[in-house]
Structure formats: structure tokens, C-alpha cells
Structure 1
Amino acid sequence: MSEDITGACQDAASLLRSVPTTKRIRIVSHYDADGIAAAGVLCTAVYRAGYAFQTSLMRNPFTKGFDRLKNERNELIVFSDMGSGQLETIESLGCKAIILDHHQYLRAQTSQNIRQINANLFGADGNYDVSGATLSYLFATALNPANEDLAALALAGATGDKQFIGGVRGLNKTILEDALQKGFLTEQTNIKLYGDTIADALYYSVDPYYPGLSGKSEKIETMLEQLRIKPTTSIQDIPPETITKIQSYLLFVLIKAGCQQNILEMTIRKRYVASPGWELERFADLLDACGKNGYRSLGLSLCLGDGSTWKEAMQLEKDYKQKLLTGLEGLEQGIHETKGMRYFYSDNSSLGGVIAGIATNYMLDEKKPLFSLTRKETDNEIHISCRGNQQLVRQGLDLGAVMKTVAGELGGFGGGHKIAAGATIAFGKEKEFLEKVDVLLVSQMQG
């Protein structure tokens, strides 16, 4: 598998090198942590190869984003963390293209001037084995082996896509082991806690989300008082034995909430720190906050090594997490349920998918996937994001297939992964969409 995908990346690298360095390389990627990290890898790689570049980070590539590309004159476009589901549209652009994607694909064959490197076409599982960023890393190292120093950035993208849940595997594992051996990453085992103070860290903890504690200052103060810790204490100043007590308490909160075993195992786990000093999941969280909160260029600046943007990004992350906490609190009264699914309405489609993912892992039982619907009446659209869990996938859940099928039947667009997917449909199709999705989900779960 790795040899086949390496050969495909070398072929794609040759296609890029066929473009004169006087031409600009166009890069298009997704706006989440994986997509932004993928764009960071690609921007760095093409710049080192002597090319100027222009980058766009898109929320929804299906319609408006591609309409803008049609009005441009591009020699070559590199699509990362997207593209396989939009193959026909990319072919209509009339330029050379490279697709680096791990989502479900439409078809394997492409026109002559397009190179499609989709993980699922090479025997890898795009849900868990490789992400958009780690695929982009394989392409970057095919372009120049010296780009191996981008491994940490690529793995931050895979981490942002939660591909560490259940253990790092596949091509991600190969890249991780190589990065550790070459000193691009160091390993440590601990719980995820970061913030100016311990109280701050606990308040803004959304993944993991601690039911009854996250976002609740009074509850946090009570907990810390029981442990004899001042809320204003810096995490770095807390003795190791006290940190162990905090970890035990937080793990008990998650067990009491009924979290699945694979989620519990990820709470205290091996974590990886890049040579600049940032831990992969911490960096991925910053990128996700920038992308989902409307500051995509800020996230890309972080990936390109602009250290002056860290302070702004961390403040933005607090604002973003407060929105998530407010949305999670609202779920307590706002979840609808059918035979095969649960769903809720969100004012912000970017936040809705994140809230659905957190609620699936930390608030709800594992029996049904959770959907977020955002009504965009001014655009005559409804945006849908949905999240499942590994247990449901083992039972037959394939959200990407459901989104692709139902949205397509209703004149919209959809796709993604088995465990997470999205769709856009016309505003008046909501009732029909929910009915059709419910029927398909029940059928999948019944085998």
C-alpha cells in the first residue's frame, strides 16, 4: 500500500514540477484543523520548490467556492482534504489538478490532467489511517525529501480529525514513528489541560467535555477546594501528585457520564510535542478554533510559523470555546429523536458539527448518530453535519454514504466519512431529508 501511494505522490509531484516556476500554484483546502494543516504543509512545500502560491480555505466546496475558481485562470490547483467528492466540478475547471483526499470518492478514473490520490483507493482507511494533512505530507516529501520536517504539522492535522482515537494506525503511525526517530517529535503521557490557570483550563475544556464541570465556574471552584488547590494556580506550579488526583477525578466524571471505553482511553494518553514546543492536539485545537470561528488566515499563519499570531489565536480560542459551551448547554432541551437518529438545530453550521461531535462522545449514549441542522433561509439552503461513533460504524453505520445518497436525491450535495459527514440541501427539503435519512440509518443498523 505505502509503495503504491508513494508512487502516486511522485507522479503528482512530477505534474507540479512540469509547471514553470514563473506560474503561481493554486491551493484549495478545507477550513478545519486537518484542512488548514494540510494547506500549511503544501504552502511550505511549493514555496520551497520556488513557486508563488495562493490559498483558499473553504467551508463548503460544493457550489460557491468552486464558482469562484471557475472565474480564475489557473495553471494547476492542488486540492487537499477535499476534491474526490467534487471530481466532476474539478474536471470542468479545465486546468491541471492534484487531489489529496481521504473522504469517500465518486470514481477512481479521472481525466488525463488530474491526479487523484485518495487514501481509500490505495487500501488505506480514510476514516482512521491517514488524513488530508498526512496525505499532503506524503506529497510534500515526494516533491522534496527535506520536507520531512513538516511531519509534526501533518500529524496535528490528523489529530484534529480525531484519528488518534483507538490508537494511531496506518500511514499516520508510519509518519509518527519516523518523526519520533528523527527528533521532530518527543513523547509524553498526560491528560489534556491547558490554560492560564487550572480553573481556566477546566472551564474551557470542551474535548474532553466534563459534564457538570466544563463551563461551570462554581462547580470547578468546589472541586478545587476539595482538592485544596487555589483556582488561580498555574498548571505548571501544581505538584505531580496533585495532578494525578486531578486526573483521577476527571476520569471519574467521564466514567459517571457513561463515556465509551475508547474515549476514556484517550483522556490520559501518549501525547507528542513538536520541536517548537507545541503539543499536537493543542495546536490542532487552535487551528480548529481559527477555522470554525471565521479566522482561517490566522490559522494558516500559525502553520507557516508566524509566532506573533499565537496570542491572538489563543484569545480567539476562548471565544470559540465559550460558544461551544453555550451550544452544549442548549442541547439539554433541544434534541429531537427518531427511530434511527437524533438531531438538533444550530444557528451556526460551523459550530453545529463540532457540538454534535462533542455531544456524541461525552453527553449521549452510543445508540444513534447525532445531526446538526442549520437553516440558511437567505441562501435557500440547509447545512447538515452529522457525527457517529466507532461502535455504530462497526454495526454498519456509514454517514458519508447516507449524506451522499439522500442529498443527491434531493438535488443537493453531501458526503464525508462513515463516522462523520455533511450535506447541503435546498431550504424546503428538510422534512423529506429527515425522513429519507432515518429510513437509511435504520436499514444500516439492521444490517
Structure 2
Amino acid sequence: MDAPVPELEARADACADALRDADSVLLASHIDADGLTSAGIASTALERAGITHDVVFSKQLDDEEIAGIAAHDHDTVLFTDFGSGQLDSIAEHEERGDFTPVIADHHQPAEADTQFHLNPLLEGVDGGKELSGAGASYVLARALLSDEATDLAALAVVGAVGDMQTVNGELVGANVAIAEEGVAAGVLDTAKDLALYGTQTRPLPKLLEYASEVYVPGITNDQNGAMRFLDGLDVDLHDGGDWRTWASLDHDERQTVVSALVKRAVRNGVSGDKVTDLVGTTYTLLEEEAGTELRDASEFSTLLNATARYERGDVGLAVCLGERGEPLDSARELLRTHRRNLSEGLSWVKDEGVTVEDDLQWFHAEDRIRETIVGIVAGMALGAEDVESDRPIVGFGEKNDEEVKVSARGTPALVNRGLDLSVVMREASQSVGGDGGGHTVAAGATVPKGEERAFLDAAADEIAAQIE
């Protein structure tokens, strides 16, 4: 089978050779859904290749974290889903002989470089939309194992979806080639279906009530309205008294619901563009149990994010490595906690309100919202009915006594107009003595406490210069 991303084949082969030559490898990965799937893919590939390794996670790869990684007794360090942006610091350790770095990342590289560096941006492939960290890890796994790695394509798709790399509801670019390998391997199915979150696990009324993708008056955020809508359909939507899930419906039943939902949306003035968003490409993991969070790429990525936001990367990794039982139970409990905290966080933002300025809008949660979920809450707030979507939103959360976490979220429409939040976060944070980065539509930073206003001013200037 040909390489999934031919542009990266030479770099992937070089990185694979470096790993084979290592006495032992420390796998260091980012701790979000993309980072966890990256680690899962890389760890599985190393294990299959007979390469001894350990795994560590980090929320933010700064100089202190890199020094801690260097203190481990491994001659080679494989960085997944981060490392490119920290190459200046990594290169210093390499020059001192602390370790040989191998990097599989998709973030903007720093000025320094290293011999074993797998990053789509270095070969003209868009790392923000076309290949995630998990995708880069998958390309490396294929170089290590050839066709024996194709079953890992499903995890790579979970990582890409979790990294918000879908465009108009579906993956694009190199991610498509990886998904096709997953389909060919029999571990993944792609289909056009209702593009709402929770099709595997949410009872139908909750699926429609909580759907934030498209606001349908009388159904979205309306429990009784959603139930009345479903009760009015000529479909048996109950199973022994309980509501069925979308996953349990057959093709004809789904068609009936979608048709009625589209008619209701159009009748209530929902725009044609929004109505088409109701249907998109879904990514189903065929080896996972139907009706569970792991069956759907979007729900799987949310489960992993829940473990990451509460510093339980070990749990998320165990699930990615195929462990079920206790690890999956723990992940589900973390997800329940995560959802409760998100709901409380969003309610707080709605109650306190968002400060709207010319080029951005912002809120400061202080210690009322965990700094690890401020970005998710900001994204949810941006999609809320009473928050403007014509400018990015910035959320602040207390990180410690000296630092504040900053998270920014935009929309695809703003990105199409020139918005690049990775640049905004990097430039604005560095102007006040902090550091940051990320992607065009979602990025983060850490800044000194007390510098929030100066940060906002710098961010607003950068946004104004970007957006047409």
C-alpha cells in the first residue's frame, strides 16, 4: 500500500530509522484528544516494532518541561503533537547530548530544526486542517510498520476530529487519505448522516435539545419542544418505554426524522446554509461496541478530552491502547464530571456576560472555571444564541498565583476572512512576557497575571490587521 501522505514519506522513513536505532525511547505527548490519540498510535507502533519505551504527558511543553524530559534515562525522545514550536529549547538539549529528538507534530515550527522532524507544514501540507498530530503519528507508524499499522487509522481520525479539523462537517486533505486506509482496513466507516453530537449515546430528545450545531426554534434548548416534535412523527421511537438513540434507528426511520427536522427548520426561518449543516460525514469505529462513546469519532474524542482536562492522561491512553473495563469506566466518570463543569461554566458566562469590544469579545473566569476547560467554554459561548459570532472570543482563567491561562476561539467564517488565532496568541502573549500558539480557529496562551488588558490590546491590534 502506498504511503498515505507521500509528501512526508522521506521524513517519516528517517524518523522511523532513528527510532529503530534507539536503545530506548521516551514518548512525550500533548494531553488533549489529539495528543492522546497521537500517543496511542505511537505507543502501539513502538510496541509492535519491539522498541522499548515509556510514556509521559504534558499540558504545555515549556523549558521546564523539556528539562524534566531530558532528565529521564532515555537516549531518544519522541515528541508527538508538540515539539515543533519548542525546537529552540529542544535543540539546546540535543547539542548537549541529553537526547536525540524525533518529532511528529503539526504545529508551527520554531526557527531551529532537527534532523528527525516530521511536520506537514514543512512540506506544504496544512497542519491546521489537513493533518493533525495523530495523523503525523500515523504517518510515522506506517513508516515503522508498513501495512501492519493501517488499523491505527481509526485513532488518527478520532484525533483529527478532536482537533477540530473537519471543514463543513468532514475531513479534508491528508486526513481523507488516512480515513480511506481505515475504511480499507475494516476499522472505520464513513457515511452521510445526521451531523449532531451524541448520535450513539444520547436519547433522541436530548440529541435534538442539546444540538448546538444548528439552532432550530422550538426544538434546540427546548426539552418539551423536542419531545413534542418526536412524538408527532410516524416512527416508533421508544424501546421498552425508553427513548431510542439515533444509532438504533434504521435507514428509513432516520430519513423520516431528518426530513421532518429539515422542514421544521425551514419553516422557522433557519437559513439554507444552516439547514445543510444538519447532515454531514460521520466517522464510525467499526470495532467498537455500537451505542457507546467509542463508536463515534466525535464522542470518542470528547471522552478523551475529559480525561485530559483532569490530568488523567494515563486513563485516556489506556482507552486508546484498547483497554476497557476499569479504564473506560474511569473515563466515563471523568466525562460526567467534565460535562457538569462545562454546563456550570457556560451558565456562569451567560450570567456574567461577555465584554464586547471592536475586534474581539472576552470574559475573565478567574477561579470559577477550571483553566483546562476555559477554551471549551469559550467555544460553547461563541456558539450560543446571545453571543456575537462576528469576532473571536477570548476567555481567561486563573492558572496559578502568577499566571493566567488564555484561550481564544473563532469560527471558520472568520478564518476564511484571514483570522489566525495561533499568530494572535503567540504575538500578543509574547508582547506581555508570556507564550502561546495553537491553530487558526482555536489557540491558547499563558500570560503573567495583571497583564490581561495589555494582552487584549495587543490581540485586538493583531486581529484587526488580519481580518479583511
Asked if Structure 1 and Structure 2 have the same fold, meaning a TM-score greater than 0.5 normalized by the shorter chain, the answer is yes
Pick the aligned partner of 1:103 from 91, 101, 107. Answer: 107
What's the CA shift for 1:401?
0.9
Which one of the candidate residues 403, 409, 424 is aligned to 1:387?
409
Partner of 1:375: 398
Q: CA deviation at 1:7?
A: 0.5
The counterpart of 1:335, out of the listed 354, 379, 387, is 354
- Aligned residue runs from structure 1 range 118-267, under 5 A: 118-145=119-146, 146-166=148-168, 167-191=170-194, 192=196, 193-195=199-201, 197-202=203-208, 217=223, 220-227=226-233, 232-235=242-245, 243-244=254-255, 246-247=257-258, 261=273, 265-267=276-278
Match of 1:305 among 319, 322, 329: 322
- Give the TM-score normalised by the residue count of structure 2: 0.84
Alpha-carbon distance in 1 for matches of 2:310, 2:261: 28
Q: Distance in 1 between matches of 2:201 and 2:465?
A: 45
Which moved further from structure 2: 196-205 or 336-345? 196-205
**CA deviation after TM superposition for structure 1 residue 92, in Å:** 2.8
Coordinate RMSD, CA, aligned: 2.9
1:350 counterpart SS class: coil
The 3 A distance-change label for structure 1 pair 194 and 408 is same
Cα deviation, 1:237-282, whole Å, max 9, x if unaligned, reads 6565554454456667888797894x75454222222231322222
SS at match of 2:54: strand
SS at match of 1:188: strand
Contact 2:187–2:287 under 8 Å retained in 1:
no
Counterpart of 2:52?
A: 52
Deviations 1:157-184 (A, max 9, x none): 1111121223322111111223223323
Q: Deviations over 1:194-229 (max 9, x none)?
A: 326334545665667878866765555455455585
Counterpart code for 2:426 = K
- Give yes or no for the alignment of 1:355 onto 2:380: no
The answer to whether 1:10 aligns with 2:52 is no
Distance 2:128 2:355 in 1: 27
Change (3 A) 1:330 1:204: same
Aligned to 1:274: 285
C-alpha contact 2:213 2:278 (8 A) present in aligned 1: no
Question: Residue 88 of structure 1 aligns to a residue in which SS?
Answer: helix
Q: 1:210 to 1:19 in 2, by over 3 A?
A: farther
Q: Report the residue type matching 1:101 in the other structure.
A: D
Equivalent residue pairs, number: 438
Give TM-score scaled by structure 1 length.
0.88
CA distance in 1, matches of 2:323, 2:422: 35
Q: What residue is the counterpart of 2:30 in the other structure?
A: 30
Unaligned runs of 5+ in 1: none
Structure 1 residues 218 and 157: alpha-carbon distance in aligned structure 2, compared to 1, 3 A threshold: same
CA contact (8 A) 2:214 2:277 kept: no
* CA displacement at 1:35 relative to structure 2: 0.9
Letter matched to residue 181 of structure 1: A
CA contact (8 A) 1:361 1:389 kept: no
Is the CA contact (8 Å cut-off) linking 2:394 and 2:408 kept in structure 1?
yes
**Change in 2 beyond 3 A, CA 1:234/1:294:** farther
Counterpart of 2:142 in structure 1: which amino acid? Answer: T
Amino acid in the other structure paired with 2:41: V
Label 1:271 to 1:125 Cα distance change in 2 as closer, same or farther (>3 A). same
Structure 2 unmatched ranges of 5 or more: 289-294
Please say if 1:288 is aligned against 2:305.
yes
Farther-moved stretch of structure 1 (420-429 vs 233-242): 233-242
Whole-Å Cα distance in 2 between the matches of residues 42 and 153 of structure 1? 11
Residue aligning to 2:291: none
The structural deviation recorded for 1:397 is 0.9
Deviations 1:4-51 (A, max 9, x none): 41110000111111113xx2x111111111111000000001111112
Distance 2:318 2:303 in 1: 11
**1: CA distance, partners of 2:303 / 2:216:** 20
- For 1:165, what is the secondary structure of its paired residue? coil
1:389-428 → structure 2 map (5 Å cutoff): 389-428=411-450
2:292 aligns to what?
none
Corresponding residue number in structure 2 for 1:440? 462
**Greater Cα offset, 147-156 or 131-140:** 147-156
Deviates more, 1:340-349 or 1:184-193: 184-193
CA distance in 2, matches of 1:28, 1:211: 46
Contact 1:367 1:392 in 2 (8 A): yes
Aligned sequence identity (%): 27
Asked if the contact 2:5/2:177 (under 8 Å) is kept, the reply is: no
> Match for 1:148: what amino acid?
T
Letter in 1 for 2:178: I
Are the equivalent residues in 1 in contact too, given 2:189–2:284 (CA < 8 A)? yes
Tell me the distance in 1 between the aligned counterparts of 2:263 and 2:443: 31
- C-alpha distance 307-210 of structure 1, shift in aligned 2 (>3 A): farther
